Chains A and B, each alone.
Chain A
Amino acid sequence: MKKITFFSVMILMSFLTLSCFDQSKPNYQFFPNMYESVGYSTYQESDAFANGIEAQLPVDGTISRGWVPYDYPDTNEGYELAKKELLSPLEVNDENLSKGKELYNIYCAVCHGSKGDGQGILMKREKFLGIPSYADRDITEGSTYHVLMYGRNLMGSHASQVNAEERWQISQYVISLREKLIK
């Protein structure tokens, strides 16, 4: 009888130690008040504001540091105007092109293909259809920047992912890809 109780206690204990960590919950902490300080962390839930989140939208009219104003409106006319007259402030050099290539491969190649021929992986897997080759479209650096800024048709705006300088670097690389395709 003693043996049975001894073994059952052992099994129960090993079970307890093994099942201690519930994967869907974070583990215990030593001194939690040092791990999580009193200050709010980003996106934390909080009743300090009306909508219950710590992160708030900037006040209307706020301009972030390094923000460059962009005057062309998000309309067909704005697009045509940007295509016609908007020029890149960056000079064409290897540094900008290599940076542009790096960013292009992260943000654009998945649809437009690493060569700009519209044969990205999402196109090949038929998640998107009808992505044109850059060679078939009459695009300029200005129009590419405009589309990156606002998006066009099914392509969404990428302004939240890349800043103004990076958008210009990508545009420069896109035009270099187009020139290679046309040749």
Chain B
Amino acid sequence: MSVVRITTLSKSISNLFKSLVSPLALNSFFVLLITLNISAQDVDIAKGKSLYNANCASCHKLNKKLIGPALKGVSAKYDKEWLYAWIKNSAAMIKAGDEQAIAIYEEYNKVAMNAFPQLSNEDIDNILAYTDYVPEPVATSTTVSGAQSSTGEPSLANDIILGLLIVVLLVLVTMLYLVTKTLTSIAEKNGIKIDQPKSEPFSIWKAFIKNQFLIFSSVVLLLLSSAYFAYGYMMQIGVDQGYMPVQPIHYSHKIHSGANQIECQYCHSSARVSKHSGIPSLNVCMNCHENIAEYNGEEDLEKGYTKEFYTNEIKKLYKAVGWNEETQSYTGDTEPVKWVRIHNLPDFVYFNHAQHVSVAGVDCNKCHGPVEEMEILYQYSSLTMGWCIDCHRDSNVKVKDNEYYTKIHEELSKKYGVEELTIAQMGGLECGKCHY
């Protein structure tokens, strides 16, 4: 009996199991079918990405409004055929009076989207597949946090080790003190007097005072050394070499000029044509930062230069220039950025950037140092008169392709009997050249 019972039980269980499993199997079969179907259409997300980066990314971002709308999930919003037509020639659709097309055109301030007749329907499918593609939440976040903690650990460990060392040192010092104390007390109890040498230094002093030559020479030495230090101290007054003020926005020349290799004159454009190198107005910043709203480059965690830190500095720029990130437009509500001037010659000196940059072709780095490596900008050169004169004595005048100098160059090189003239020989040391 018991055997029969067991077999019926097992049968009923297997039945139950089958009834449960079959819909699953059917489902998985359908899923397989669908995936097959898709692969038959050759939707290639990687290809879509490269097409997207080449054609769309200059005006669209996936998650954020830029010149045009955010493209994530765009295929769900519009009919596919409509999207094909729109991407290939949006202007024609607006002219034809398509309602959806006109609505979009009006919403985005009547900015016409470029026509892409070169894209085939398959290309557009690939692009749409990329915009719909949601990357699986891979374990990147955990690896990032792991990396952070691993970089954070050593500094903590160092602190602990240092603390321990200090404690050990303190213990040693107290122990030594206690030992000497007990030893002297023992000695006193035993009736031993400890002599401390007191008279010796006194006798040296006496001998020193009696020796007149020693006194004379030490006085001379003292005077000379104090004169040396006084001279050194006086000479550095008014020299701001190494001056590194804190700026209202943490602008990193290391990132802009170093990593991104933007030319100095892109921002300091007036160095080319005027006396001043000039602080760029914020519209120059916005030439790039309309697009670059967050920092994604290297971090320096030890100094606290994290991605959030840099992104926050970009937000400061947006606030000053009155840029609304949500609507991608200017609010008109601006405030000046109070940059602190670093290189500042005294008012009684005339210096002209254009003469040095455009005419002489002096490299910016020659005076301003390795700016492309400076996270925080500082004054590299001393900017003293001696420093100017040194360069004017050593550098030759660039006379090639410069008709202005042809005649005077010929005459002066005859006078001095040299091939190449220095600036000093051209009168570059005359007082009135710079002081008037």
Contacts and interface: CB of A to CB of B under 8 A. Distances in A.
A45 B338 contact: yes
Interface residues of B, number: 50
Nearest to B265: A106
Given A105-B263, A106-B263, A107-B266, A156 B240 contact: no
Interface residues of A, number: 47
Contacts of B57: 129-130
B269 A154 contact: no
Interface in B32-76: 53-59, 66-67
B55 A157 contact: no
A109 to B, nearest CB: 8
B53 A156 contact: no
A23 B378 contact: yes
Contact of A37 (B111, B261, B292, B347): B347
A30 B67 contact: no
A27 B237 CA distance: 6
Interface string A123-136: 00101111110000
B263 A27 contact: no
A81 interface: no
Given A36-B347, A156-B290, A27 B266 contact: no
Interface in A158-180: 158, 160-162
Interface string B235-271: 0111110111110000000000001111101100100
Interface stretch (B7-15, B275-283, B300-308, B411-419): B275-283
A106 to B, nearest CB: 4
B245 A110 contact: no
B347 A130 contact: no
Nearest to B112: A76
Given A43-B279, A110-B260, A130-B59, A34 B66 contact: no
Contacts of B239: 27
Contacts of B236: 21, 27
Contact of B233 (A17, A128, A131): A17
Nearest to A151: B287
B17 interface: no
A157 B283 contact: yes
A130 B346 CA distance: 47
B186 interface: no
A153 interface: yes
B214 interface: no
B288 interface: yes
B291 interface: yes
Nearest to B61: A129
B243 A27 contact: yes
* Ranked 8 nearest A-B pairs via Cβ: A129-B57, A130-B58, A130-B57, A156-B287, A161-B269, A35-B346, A37-B347, A106-B263
Interface of B: 53-59, 66-67, 110-112, 229, 233, 236-240, 242-246, 259-263, 265-266, 269, 276, 279, 281, 283-284, 286-288, 290-292, 336, 338, 344, 346-348, 378
21 contacts: A21-B236, A23-B243, A28-B238, A29-B238, A36-B347, A76-B111, A105-B263, A110-B260, A110-B262, A121-B260, A121-B261, A127-B260, A128-B291, A129-B53, A129-B57, A130-B58, A153-B111, A154-B58, A154-B66, A157-B287, A160-B281
Given A35-B238, A154-B58, 13 more contacts: A23-B378, A26-B243, A27-B238, A28-B238, A41-B347, A76-B112, A125-B260, A153-B59, A154-B67, A156-B288, A160-B281, A161-B266, A161-B269
